[in-house]
């Protein structure tokens, strides 16, 4: 019998895509659907990006390009790094990829042999688990529940690194929680990291320009420069420039690791397309106004989402300070019923919410936290309002299962 490689038995389609697909199908069938499920920024890049593409088309050579990335794109990324407070990197520290997802995959491929240990906090972005599973790594999850604001503590990190895992993977600002670590919190975690020199560090910082409330963006290497020798910083144009489908990702890392990614690129993708490279340069070097406006808009929406969530009795939601997600703990609904449907867990909750109210959210279990769900709040404003109202209404209509049984008996 013909067989796939055994690693494919561990590969599964992204849970987020499954929900987004279901919402799309319902919409196509004529249902009024509010989609809070997929993490897309929902705006388009500035005109200067399209202009750069048109210009690039005029000069297209059709040739293969650099495996590392074209020099003007590397320089534009290095300038962006300096602007966000990450100085001292050279072209030889950088490599591009087809989005941050591919960069993360390549980093894990470059660092993890089968059974090597990777540790990361829960809730996590779904692909971390999927990638580590495909590669056959030993995965250790560090639970960071809502009671600790979904944030990793220095003591937890210290304990986790005692076993000398090969890789520690960290995401800030966070998808799915929207949490942003403060300057002091990053400094305290960096103190722990220097005590554990046998572990590589990957920081996925792709939302670094989507931070609210003046918290700012920080990275471990700013506090402990010696960590640069084993830290890979991942970035992407997807969320900050409204370019998720354009697929531009970056890594800044020690040369050994950046060069490993260049080698993998030479085998996987060869190069970023020339047209996309031109768009990337324009996005990074052109006006940053759209990004700033959107960040301000997302901060206002965060307030609106949080106001609604916190007005629902029993729902908890640590205050997100970046990206465009909220991750409420909705476990107060478990054990209740809606229109006769019993809600036992987050998956039941999301299915009933989509079915009865046409609101699509991603169950928290997709991110390793089954008491919660993720709301991505970038949809058009009118839809956001309608979606939040329906979300609250859904809670108003929940009934205790016992009450329902009694009233059903009386009918």
Q: Does 126 bind ligand PLP (CB under 6 A)?
A: no
Pick from 24, 97, 145, 22: which is nearest to 263 by CA? Answer: 97
Distance CA 86, CA 189 (A): 18
Pairs from 331-340 (Cβ < 8 Å, separation ≥ 24): 331/371, 331/372, 333/395, 333/398, 335/400, 335/401, 336/398, 336/399, 336/400, 336/401, 337/398, 337/399, 337/400, 337/401, 337/404, 338/394, 338/397, 338/398, 338/399, 339/397, 340/404
Q: Does 322 bind ligand PLP (CB under 6 A)?
A: no
Pick from 365, 352, 345: which is nearest to 393 by CA? Answer: 352
Binding residues for ligand PLP, rule CB under 6 A, total 13
Q: Which CB atom, from 211 or from 343, has the smaller least distance to ligand PLP?
A: 211
x/- letters, 178..197, toward ligand PLP (CB under 6 A) = --------------------
What dihedral do alpha carbons 284, 200, 217, 15 form, nearest 10°?
A: 80
- Estimate to the nearest angstrom the gap between the alpha carbon of 109 and the chain centroid: 19
Q: Does 35 bind ligand PLP (CB under 6 A)?
A: no
Interface with ligand PLP in residues 204-223 (CB under 6 A)? 204, 206
Q: Does 244 bind ligand PLP (CB under 6 A)?
A: yes
Q: Using the rule CB under 6 A, which residue among 35, 172, 175, 222 binds ligand PLP? A: 175
Indicate if the alpha-carbon torsion angle 152, 158, 163, 164 is positive or negative: positive
Q: Which CB atom, from 93 or from 240, has the smaller least distance to ligand PLP?
A: 240
Q: Using the rule CB under 6 A, which residue among 101, 230, 294, 301 binds ligand PLP? A: 101
* Residue 211: CB minimum distance to ligand PLP, A: 14
* Residue 267: CB minimum distance to ligand PLP, A: 19
Residue facing ligand PLP at closest CB distance: 99
Q: Which CB atom, from 45 or from 249, has the smaller least distance to ligand PLP?
A: 249
Give residues in contact with ligand PLP (CB under 6 A): 39, 99-101, 125, 171, 175, 204, 206, 236, 238, 244, 249
């Amino acid at each position: 019998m013909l067989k796939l490689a055994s690693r494919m038995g561990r590969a599964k389609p992204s849970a987020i895509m499954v929900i987004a697909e279901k919402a799309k199908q319902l919409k196509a069938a004529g249902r009024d659907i509010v989609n809070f499920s997929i993490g897309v920024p929902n705006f388009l890049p500035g005109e200067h990006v399209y202009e750069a593409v048109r210009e690039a088309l005029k000069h297209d050579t059709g040739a293969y390009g650099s495996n590392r990335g074209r020099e003007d794109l590397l320089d534009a990324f290095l300038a962006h790094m300096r602007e966000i407070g990450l100085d001292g990197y050279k072209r030889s520290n950088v490599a591009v990829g087809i989005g941050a997802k591919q960069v993360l995959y390549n980093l894990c491929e470059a660092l993890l042999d089968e059974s090597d240990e990777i540790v990361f906090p829960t809730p996590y972005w779904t692909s971390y688990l999927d990638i580590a599973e495909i590669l056959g790594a030993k995965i250790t999850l560090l639970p960071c529940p809502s009671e600790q604001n979904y944030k990793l503590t220095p003591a937890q990190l210290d304990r986790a690194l005692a076993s000398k895992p090969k890789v520690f993977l960290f995401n800030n600002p966070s998808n799915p929680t929207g949490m942003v670590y403060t300057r002091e919190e990053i400094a305290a975690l960096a103190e722990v990291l220097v005590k554990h020199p046998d572990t590589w560090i990957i920081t996925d910082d792709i939302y670094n320009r989507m931070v609210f409330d003046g918290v700012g963006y920080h990275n471990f290497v700013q506090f402990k420069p010696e960590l640069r020798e084993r830290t890979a910083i991942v970035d992407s144009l997807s969320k900050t420039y409204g370019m998720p489908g354009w697929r531009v990702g970056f890594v800044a890392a020690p040369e050994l690791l950046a060069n490993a990614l260049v080698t993998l690129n030479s085998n996987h993708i060869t190069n970023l397309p020339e047209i996309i490279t031109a768009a990337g340069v324009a996005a990074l070097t052109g006006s940053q106004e759209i990004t700033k406006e959107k960040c301000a808009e997302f901060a206002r929406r965060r307030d609106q989402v949080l106001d609604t969530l916190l007005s629902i009795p029993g729902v908890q939601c640590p205050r997100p300070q970046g990206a465009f997600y909220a991750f409420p703990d909705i476990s107060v609904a478990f054990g209740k019923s809606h229109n006769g449907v019993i809600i036992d867990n987050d998956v039941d909750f999301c299915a009933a919410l989509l079915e009865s109210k046409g609101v699509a959210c991603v169950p928290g279990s997709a991110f390793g936290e089954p008491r919660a769900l993720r709301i991505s709040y970038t949809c058009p404003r009118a839809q956001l309002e309608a979606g939040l109202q329906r979300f609250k209404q859904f809670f108003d209509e929940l009934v205790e299962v016992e009450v329902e049984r009694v009233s059903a008996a009386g009918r």
